[in-house]
Amino acid sequence: MTRWWMLMAVVTLGGCSGPGRVTVDDAWIRLPAVTGRPGVAYFTLEGGPSNATLINVSADIAIRAEMHESMTGAGGMTSMKPLASVAVPAGTDTVFAPGGRHVMLFDINPKAKVGRIYNLTLNFSNGARIYAGAMTVGAADPAPDF
């Protein structure tokens, strides 16, 4: 499984995130019940002193990640659409949580385990990059108690 090590090396080479920017809190990942199914990552972004735009999220344990938003339609049907970017207004919390915005994780490393912390990388339109440790829970588990 050399590709996992390559992916981690690329992530580790990233730039730094200075103070006074967006911060990431309460990051967690729900692992799929069945290997091969997608997982989902959630977190809260605390807006910095100026407006920011989140343009991309990746996870060490997933080959591919997409920002999505879940919606409930008029008939009670839920669906989700991809988000190209997410605005993070200054001084305001922007929440990724079940039933709303989330990050879909595809091709998850089958060795990923519940109860571990894995790295998320968040890239912003101004070039800032933030890393956050995300606690994993099982498919049927509640969200972690932060």
Residue numbers at the binding site for Cu ion (CB under 5 A): 68, 80, 104
- With respect to Cu ion, which residue has the nearer C-beta, 104 or 137? 104
What minimum distance in Å lies between the beta carbon of 59 and Cu ion?
Answer: 14
What minimum distance in Å lies between the beta carbon of 83 and Cu ion?
Answer: 10
- With respect to Cu ion, which residue has the nearer C-beta, 6 or 71? 71
Supply the Cα-derived Rg of the chain in whole angstroms.
15
- With respect to Cu ion, which residue has the nearer C-beta, 97 or 104? 104
Q: Distance between CA atoms of 38 and 77, rounded to whole angstroms?
A: 20
What minimum distance in Å lies between the beta carbon of 69 and Cu ion?
Answer: 8
Apex 82 CA angle, 137 and 50, nearest 5: 85
Q: Which amino acid is at 68?
A: H
- With respect to Cu ion, which residue has the nearer C-beta, 47 or 61? 61
What minimum distance in Å lies between the beta carbon of 34 and Cu ion?
Answer: 16
Residue sitting closest to Cu ion (CB): 68
- Using the CB atoms, write b or e for 97-132: b if 16+ within 10 Å: eeeebbbbbeebbeebeeeeebbbbbbbeeebebbb
